Amino acid sequence: MLKITDKVAALRPGEPFHSLEFFPPKTTMGFDNLEARLRRMACALRPLFVNVTWGAGGSTATKSLQLAELCQRQLELTTCLHLTCTNMSQAVIDETLEAAKEIGIRNILALRGDPPRNEEYSNAPSDATANGTSGIEFEYAVDLVKYIREKHGDYFCIGVAAYPEGHVEGACPERQDVEFDIPFLVEKVKAGADFIMTQLFYDVDKYLSFEKSLRDEPSGVFRDLPIIPGMMPIQSFQMLKRITKLSGASIPPDILTRLEDVKGDDEGVKREGVNIVSEIIEKIKSTESTQLRGFHFYTLNLEKAVSFILERTNLIPAPEESVFEEIDGPITNGNNRRDRRSSSVTSDPHNRVIIDSDSGITESYGHAFASEAGFLKPPEQNRPPEVALAISEGEGSLGREATWDDYPNGRFGNARSPAFGEIDGYGPSLHLSQAQAVKLWSYPVTTDDISALFVKHIRGELEAIPWSEQELSSESKVIQEHLIKLNTKGRWTVASQPAVNAAKSTDELFGWGPKGGFVFQKAFVEFFCSPDDWTALKEKLDKLEEMSYYAANKNGDYQSNVPTGEDSLHAVTWGVFPGKEIITPTIIEEVSFKAWKDEAFSIWNEWGRVYPSRTASSKLISEITKTYYLVNIIHHGYLEPDFLWEFLEA
């Protein structure tokens, strides 16, 4: 039984279900660690199915299929593969669908993807002739649904996306209207869609109104169709702001107030986020429905918040029998020596430890093996709701994977984490239509034009640049004038932070984490610059021991004054808190820099495709993409807050 609709139909009346979504990690280490995480989550959380995302324009095609094969074949999880159709050739879509068949996948989530770009994405003659076809242009998701049905009949179970508050086109929404969208959703279902999965939301009343509108829609196509609401746990306040801006999802005032009260404390935000999403789920579950209630979780490859929510809302199917161990107090090894413990987002006196069977730890130590499935008490045992789920604390196979990315900071997190590089699921892309991009950035024809765009963004006069849809952060405004000088000189900054020495964790500008702590930062900056500028700058940097740098161009010319390997890791933000180990949420290292470099230059490519080929703007951006360097510079002397900026301005 591999089709999602068949699995839903086989559930008992009134039985809720859930599904989990994962993306291909950006590093090899992250992929390896995701496999262990998937095994743990599959056994402990028992989803009805899992989704695997697909990068814009097929940018993650190989990794997505690799992850889908891991889920479907090795873990035997019913897997749904995302597939976007815009900015992709028919040949790639055909190859992907055939590969999905070979893997054994029977479920596809058919999506439009990023707004269509120019002719560079259309089918090349070789794509069409290679398969004996004339080439099909895919502009909307309905085109993909029709194509799959025409070519593969009923082999695939096809899902489509829906937007409870209306679809938004990129970071500058021009239209967001549920009633406007519904006719297009009707068209997708009539074309052959079998179920609907919604965009994330935090206003439960708007979702319930949307669901009712679909059930009551005159054509009747939604009456018996599975509609699965999308849930995204709140991992950080900044992430929430960005995701709601990009998706167009609103935040009810009462929820925003609850989060603003703890916005400087990542642990507090995650805890309150668990409460908020759990309340949303419980309200949906309590609302009368003619169909089974299911919930889809956008995990971002993080497991802890999802696990808390699933346990609290009784969405985890009860195992045949309980095979977990509850351990009061510290975890010990066989010699009664206390193991070093990693800090957890939520403290819980009952630590249920689940380990991999090849960990070398025997059953006599009182731990349950992952292969034995559940380590959660079934709902009928009525555990007190305040006792939260704490997945695997400790070292190595005892769960470091579950704790090291409690503080997701996108590409400045730990590159070994499966969640590295992702803070909201949108990935590296413009997230804008061609018209929106031109409206924002016009038609640059010189490097001075590019510099002017970056400066306007830093001054708050431009809503977005290709690498950032948000205005300058409050703490970066401390170095705003320095950044303006750098960008005016043609060093186009995409990341930076000022130095901080022992600011209180409650500090309005720099504070984060629990109360009673102190936070520190090293100054760093990351920018694009010309090859001549980099050559001159490198010569000066090589004379300074207190500076570390990483630099690379699109073609892979990598240069650094930092040793390769583990020694290349730099914590540039850290916090010291009562009763906790030192926490280092922001890290810069070789592997993470190289992974980001590829994405950073792919965004240049995306920007270039906004303009017709052979135009001055297209040629300018193409030349920059081919020749410029991405440079990251760290100043380790955080007691000298102005040193880095004065050096770069000299």
493 CB-side CA count, 13 A: 26
Six-digit token string for 529:
């610059």
Tokens standing for 38?
A: 């998937």
What is the rounded distance in angstroms from the CA atom of residue 147 to the CA atom of residue 335?
62
For residue 594, how many C-alpha atoms fall within 13 Å in the half-sphere facing its CB?
A: 16
The helix, strand and coil proportions of the chain, stated in percent and rounded to the nearest 5, come to: 40, 15, 45
DSSP β-ladder status, 350-352 and 326-328: antiparallel
The residues, ordered by sequence, that sit 6+ positions from 493 with a Cβ below 8 Å of its Cβ are: 454, 458, 483, 486, 487, 525, 526, 527
Is residue 452 packed enough to be buried (19+ CB in 10 Å), middle (13-18) or exposed (0-12)?
middle
The C-alpha atoms of residue 167 and residue 510 are separated, in whole angstroms, by: 35
CA distance 121 to 59: 12
DSSP bridge partners of 519: 503, 575
Helices (H) and strands (E) in the chain, counts: 20, 21
H-type alpha helices, 46-85:
61-69
**131 contacts: CB under 8 Å, gap ≥ 6:** 90, 91, 94
Query: Which residue among 21, 267, 393, 401 is the active-site one?
Result: 21
227, 203, 204, 232: which is closest to 215 by C-alpha? 227
For residues 342 and 404, is the Cβ–Cβ distance under 8 A? Answer: yes
Name, in order, each residue with C-beta under 8 angstroms of 311's C-beta and a sequence gap of 6 or more: 376, 388, 389
Strand ranges for 589-641 from DSSP E? 629-635
SS3 588: strand
Distance (Å, whole) CA 634 – CA 546: 8
Q: Please tell me the distance from the alpha carbon of residue 482 to that of residue 308, in angstroms, as a whole number.
A: 43
- 3-class state of residue 123 by DSSP: coil
DSSP H stretches of helix in 338-430: 400-403
Q: Reply yes or no on whether 21 is catalytic.
A: yes
- Run of H or E including 529: strand 523-529
Q: How far is CA 113 from the centre of its chain?
A: 16
Q: b/e string for 187-226 if b means 16 or more Cβ within 10 A?
A: bbbebbbbbbbbbbbbbbebbbebbeebbebeeebbeebb
CA dist., res. 469 & res. 457, Å (int): 10
- Report the catalytic residues: 21
